Chains A and B, each alone.
Chain A
Amino acid sequence: MVSRPDDAVSAAQGGGPLTADPKLPPTAVDAAVSEAEDRKWTPAKIALWSAIALLGGVAWFMLAIVRGETVNAIWFVFASVCTYLIAYRFYSKVIERLITKPDDRRATPAEYKADGKDYVRTDRNVLFGHHFAAIAGAGPLVGPVIAAQMGYLPGTMWIILGVVFAGAVQDYLVMFFSMRRGGRSLGQMAREELGVIGGTAALVATLLIMVIIVAILALVVVNALGESPWGVFSVGTTIPIALFMGVYLRYLRPGKVMEVSLIGFVLLMAAIIGGGAVAGTEWGAAMFHLDKVTIAWGLIIYGFIAAILPVWLLLAPRDYLSTFMKIGVIGMLAVAIIVVRPEINVPAFSEFASRDNGPVFSGALFPFLFVTIACGALSGFHALIASGTTPKLIEKERQTRFIGYGGMLMESFVAIMALVAALSIDRGIYFAMNAPAALTGGTVETAAVWVNSLGLSGVNLTPDMLAQTAKDVGEQSIISRSGGAPTLAVGLAHIMQQFIGGPAMMAFWYHFAIMFEALFILTAVDAGTRVARFMLQDSIGNVIPKFKEHSWRIGAWLTTAVMVAAWGAVLMMGVTDPLGGINTLLPLFGISNQLLAAIALSVCMAIAAKRGSFKYLWIIVVPLAFAAVVTITASFQKIFATTPAVGYFANNAAFSKALADGKTSFGSAKTQAAMEAVVRNTMIQGILSIVFVVLSLIVIVAAILATIKAFRDHSAGMPMVDNEDRPRASRVFAPAGLIPTPSERELMAKWDELPADQRLGKAGHH
C-alpha cells in the first residue's frame, strides 16, 4: 500500500483540503488500484519487457564486448532506446514512489492559479514536446562530438547511464518540487531551503554560469561561421527573416503562428540555397568572408541590440522558427539514422582514452569526459527551465514523471544521435577538423601530415580527402573548424545525403545543420542575456532601488551592457586564444553547467530531506556526489595541475616564465603578444574556476547542513515546515503517461459522461 504524504491532512473524511467535490468523478486513480495494476504481470507484458531487455542487452553486447572492425549505428539506437524504456518504466517509478510521491487529488498550479496566460493546463503529450523543445538546444549536439576523441564507448555509456541516474532525475525532481511551489524558480527555492548564504551563493553562481554558457555557445557559432561566406550569409539572413515574422505577427496577422513559421521556414531554406549562390560569386565571397574576430564583434553588438529590442520583434519569432526547426530536424535525423544505418569505424576506446593530451580537448577521461558531455547526460541549465515555465503548465501531478524524466531521456537520445553523426565521418577528418590550428597548421597538407603522425589505427589521411570534403560541403576549408558544430554538420550531411538528395545535396545539408545550430544558439544568447540582465538588475536593486524598475530604460541598457561585456570578453578571449579557444574553454562550460546541476541536486536533497525521505535519499545523493566529485576534481586539476595542457595556472606560469626569459615565441604562441594573451587568458580562466568551485561548495555545504538539520528535527519528532503551496483539491482528471492505463481509461470515461458545463473546474474566480 502506498502512503500518501497528504493522507494525514485529509484523513478525517469530509474534512481536509483535499476533499473532492462529491458531484465530480474521482480526480485520481485510487492508489491501491494503480499499485495493483503496476504489480500485475500479464504474459503479454512479461513478453514485451523481456523483448526490450533482450534487445537492449544484445545492443550493449555489440557495442561493448564484440567491438568488431566496424559497428553499425543501429546498435547505438537500440542500446539507448531500450535502456531509456527500462529506466523510465522501472527506475523513474521508484523515484516516484519513494521521493516525489505525487498526489493527483491535489490541484496543480495550472489549475489553482489558472489565468489563461502563464498558468494553463496543457495536454501532457503537448507539454512533453514543449518542454523538450525548451531544454534541447545546441548543447547536446556539441559535447558528444568533442567527446568522440576518446572513442565511442565512454561517451555512449556516460550519455545513457548519466541521463538515467543523474540528468533525468535532476530534471524530474526540480520540476516536481517547483510545481509544488507554484512554479517557483531554482534561485527562489535555494533561498528558501538553504538560507541567505546558500541562496545568495546559488544566485551568484547561476549568474556567472549563465555568462560562461552564453559566451561558449557564441564561440561555437563564431567558429562555425569564421571564413565561411555561405554560413555568414545564411545565418545573417535569419535576422531580417525573424524581424519580418515579428512584424507579421504583431501587425499583419496576429496569432497566426503556424502560418508565419511556415513562411519563415521557406525563407530559411531560400536563405540556405541563396547562400550557396552568393558565396559562389566573387563579390559575395569577398563581402561575407569574415574572420573570427569580426564575427565575434558582430555577435557582441547583435547580442546587445537583440537583448534590448522588444521580445515581439526578434526573440519571439525566432523562438517559433527555432522550435519548428528543432522538432523537424531531430525527427528527420532519427529517421535518417534508422534508414541509413551508417557503419562506424571508430574504436570503442581511442588512443587518447588513456592519455591526457588529446588534441580536441585536454585532460584525462576522468573527469574531463564527464564535463565535456554535459547536456544530454546531466545539464544543470535544465533546472532553470524545469523550474519556471513548465511547472505552470502541468495538468496533473503524476504527469511530472513523463514530462520531466521522459523529456530528459529524449534529449539524451539527441545527444546519442549527435555522437553517431560525428562518429560516422572518417577519423582522420575528425581530428583535422577539431584540433586547433596551432597543431594542424591550417592547410590540407600540414593537417594531413599532422593527423598521420598521431599514429591512429586505420587512419591514412590524404590532403585530397580534406580538400574534397571541404568542396563537398561548400566550404573553402574544413581544417581546424573546432567547436563541434562543423563536425556535426559534416556528419549530418554525410548521413542525410544518403537519405535524401545524394552527394550533390551535401553542401545544402551541411549549411542546413550549421543554420539550425546557429539559430538555437542565437536564441539562447539573446534570452540568456535578458535573464542575466534581470538577475543583475534585481541584485543591484538591493543597493540602488531604482534598478529594480524593469521599465527604467537607462538601468536596463546599463545592465544589458554589463552582461554583454562579460560574455563578450570571455568570447573574445576564446576567439583570440593562441591555444585554440574551444580546447581551453569547453571544460569551463561543462564544469559550470554541472556545478549548476550539483546546486540543483543539493536543493532537491534538502527538500527531500525535509519531507522525511531519508532512507531513499541515495537516489539524489548518488548523482549529486558524482557531479560534485567530477566537477570539483576537474576544477582542481584545472587549478592545480602541473601539466600546462591541463592546468590554467601551470600554463600561466610556463608562459610568464618564457616571457620573463625574453622568448618571443613559446609553444603554440608565435608572438610575444600571443604569449601575453595566454598569460592573461589562463589567469582569468583560473580565477573563474576558483570562483565557481567555491560558490558551489558553499551551496553544497549549505544543503548538507539543511539535510542534517532536517534529520535531527525529524528524529526529535519536530514537525517539518515545508515551503509548498497549501494543498487544494483538484477538479480535473487526466492520465499520467503517454498511454492511459485501464483504470485511467475507466476514469476518463466517467469524466466524459459529465455534462460539459460541469467538467471544467469552475472555481469562484472573477
Chain B
Amino acid sequence: MAAQSASPRTLFDKIWDDHIVRTDEHGTALLYIDRQLVHEVTSPQAFEGLRLAGRKPRRPEANLAVPDHNVPTSDRHLGIVDPISRLQVETLEANCREFGIQLFAMGDPRQGIVHVIGPEQGLTQPGMTVVCGDSHTSTHGAFGALAFGVGTSEVEHVLATQCLLQRKPKSMLVSVEGALGRGITAKDIVLAIIGEIGTAGGTGHVIEYAGEAISALSMEGRMTVCNMSIEAGARAGLIGIDEKTVDYLRGRPQSPTGDGFEQAADYWRSLNSDPGAEYDRVVRIDAASIRPQVTWGTSPEMVVPIDSEVPDPDAVADPVKAGSYRHALTYMGLEPLTPIAEIGIDKVFIGSCTNGRIEDLRAAAEVAKGRHIAASIKLAMVVPGSGLVKEQAEAEGLDQVFIDAGFEWRDPGCSMCLAMNADRLEPGERCASTSNRNFEGRQGQGGRTHLVSPAMAAAAAVAGRFVDVREF
C-alpha cells in the first residue's frame, strides 16, 4: 500500500546513502566526510603529506584539533617535559596555524580528549559522517552519526578531499532488551556484549545498538557503549536519535542556532531505522542478565562477571583460544579458577574517552564519598575527559570527594589509558582501569590491566581488590 516501493532502511543505510558522492565500477563509494577531529599523534605525517604534494585542506573549518595523548595531567605550568612529546604537540600547533585549523591548545579550558570534546562542543551531530585518526571515534555514534577511526593516510585524504574511498560495511543490530539491574552501567553492557560476540565479532560491520536498556541510557552512557564498538571489532557503533539526543545538543557552541536548530532537529528525528529494516546479523542480549564486568586477560573479550572466576584454559576446546588464554594468564600473573573478588590491585585509573565524562566521575565519587582508598593502593587517579568536565566536577565538589578519599585529581587527557605521557604502570603492577584496552603493555610495559566501570574502579580502590559494587 505504500506510495513508495523503497524498502525499509537502517539508520546506517540512511547516513551512508546521504553521503555518497559517487560509486565506482568496483562498488567502492566516494563518501563525503562532514567533520574530522585531529590529534597530535596520528596527524603530523598527514600534514607533511599535504605539504610535500603542495595540497591544502579542502574545508579547514570542518576540522577541529586538540592535543590529548601526550599531554601531562599534572604540573601543567611546567609544560611538556619529555622533548619528543613536546615536539609532537608543537608540531600540531604549527600545522594548525599553517593550514588554518581550529585548535584547542593545552592551556585552553576546552582542551580534552578528542572524543569527549567533540560531543561537548556540539560538533558531533546526528546524521553526520565523522572521522578521526583514532579508533575510538566510534564514540560519536551515540548521536546517530556514522563515526569511525582512520589511519594517517586517510586523515590526509580527508584533509585534502573531504572524502574517503570506502566499501559499505555490513550491518549488525545488538539489542539489549529489558531493564538493567541496580548498579549496572553502560560499561558493563558493552563489556558483556564484547564477551558475548568476541573481539572480532563486529569485524566488517557497523553495529547499531538498540533495545530498552540502550534507550534508557543517558547520552554519556551511550557514548561509553559506542566507544568500545572497536573492541568488538566494529569500526563504528550507532544509536538512533531520540529527544535525549536533541536535548543534549541544544545550546552547544557548535550546534545549529535559532530556527536552524529546529530545522536540523526535524531532520535528525527522521534518522532512525525504519520498522522492518534488515540487518546482516542480529544479537539479542537480556539486560537483566548483565552483572558488573571485570576483564581478567589481555583482550577485552576475556571478561567475566565479578562474582565468578578466572577461566581454566584446560577447559577450552579450541587450541588457538586455549593458547591465548595461557599466554594471557602468564602475562597477567593469574592462576586458573581464582575468584575475581580475590584479585588485589596496585593502581586505579578513572578516566579515558570511555569513562572520563561527568556522569562517570559522579558514579565514582558516589562510591568514594566518605571512604578512603586502601593502604595497599600505590596510586589512584581521576583524570577528567576535558577541561570543561573538570570545571563541572569541581563545581559539584567531586574533586574534593576524590581528594578526601585519597585519589589524585588531575588535568584532562588520555593519560594512563595508553601511557604515552608520564602516567603509567610499572612492570607487574595491577590496575583497575575504566579505559578500553587491556592489551599487554598498554598501560606501561609489563603492566596488568583489568577493565571495569567507574563505580567498580572506585570500589576496588577502597577495598584494595575487586568487589561487587552492588554489595558495597
Bind each other: no
Interface residues, chain A, CB within 8 Å of chain B? none
Interface residues, chain B, CB within 8 Å of chain A? none
